Amino acid sequence: MTIGTQTAAAAPARAPHSGQAGTFEIRPLDAPLGAEIVGLDLSEPLSAEDFARIHRAHLDYHVVVFRDQRITPAQQIAFSRRFGPLQIHVLNQFQLAGHPEILIVSNVLKDGKPIGLGDAGHFWHSDLSYKEKPSLGSLLHAQELPAEGGDTLFANMHTAWDTLPAHLKAAVEGRKAEHTYLAKYAELQQRSPWRPNLTPEQIAQVAPVLQPVVRTHPETGRRALFVSEHFTTRIAGLPEDESRDLLAQLFAHSVRPEHVYRHQWQPHDLVFWDNRSLLHLAAGTPDHLRRVMYRTTIEGDLPL
């Protein structure tokens, strides 16, 4: 089964919010999730009505792609803040100068040193699931794109839960799992130059937390799996071997091709995804090609 890409759907819209209305159009993608928003300039003031349409589309489709956004870092931050407080990434080495709310995601080296986090998204994950209040959503704005590679994959964790075999649903119902930022940090350090040694203060910011294995979306009420290969280390209350086996089954089921949309970036795309509904993965960029992205991350609620 093929993974959906960013082609706009020819079929009828999957929700009542599609089609031309006001100043922009919402087009569902021919994929298990996602919609593109065209005809909107986020550098201009956004009315309450237009913001409400964007908010609704984000809930309906889990990923919204704003095309051709020539916005400044300050404008990206201001738009992101309309959805909630912003979270500052623990790797403050890769903050954009003058804008600590922006994490630079980049494989570029300057004077032999990385300007950003070059291996972000190497494993499937939900951003900041290792925090007591994980991320509501993240916004990634394309600054410089490679001629090939650099795609981002998104997996729908609502459909992953809906299609999970009954015996696995029973096994995880009501359970919690440990999430920690350090789960694969040493492994990533060995692979590339992108992971600096953490200071004691940084380590203190990412103490392990327990999160529900199945969480209820605070705005839609839909249930979703909330585990990932990057940050989830064990299911509380289970023997180690049983926990490891159960997590492996959940990870494999979550990212089956029928749950996944592959985003092929276009210049100046701004992509806004719901970390309560999705996992995502960076497909990778050839070492000799440059990729520079700016990310803001919105704080969410205590998972229920």
What's the order of all strands across the beta sheet hosting 232-235? 209-212, 176-179, 232-235
User: In this predicted model, what pLDDT tens digit does every residue of 213-241 receive, in sequence order?
Assistant: 999 999 999 999 999 999 999 999 999 99
User: In this predicted model, what pLDDT tens digit does every residue of 38-71 receive, in sequence order?
Assistant: 999 999 999 999 999 999 999 999 999 999 999 9
pLDDT of residue 22: 55
User: Where along the chain do its domains lie?
Assistant: 19-299
Let me know if domain 19-299 sits in CATH 3.40.50.11540: no
Q: What is the pTM of this model?
A: 0.91
Query: Of 24, 33, 32, nearest to 54 (Cα)?
Result: 24
User: What is the band of 195 on the pLDDT scale with cuts at 50, 70, 90?
Assistant: confident
Residues 37, 67 contacting (CB under 8 angstroms)? yes
Instruction: Identify how many contiguous H helices and E strands the chain contains and give both numbers.
Output: 7, 19
What residues are labeled active site? Answer: 125, 127, 280, 295
Cα distance between residue 150 and residue 265, in whole Å? 7
Q: What is the dihedral of CA 65, 67, 73, 74, to 10 degrees?
A: -90
Q: In the predicted model, is pLDDT for residue 3 greater than 90? A: no
Other Cβ atoms less than 10 A from the Cβ of 109: the count is: 15
Query: Of 293, 288, 289, 250, nearest to 268 (Cα)?
Result: 293
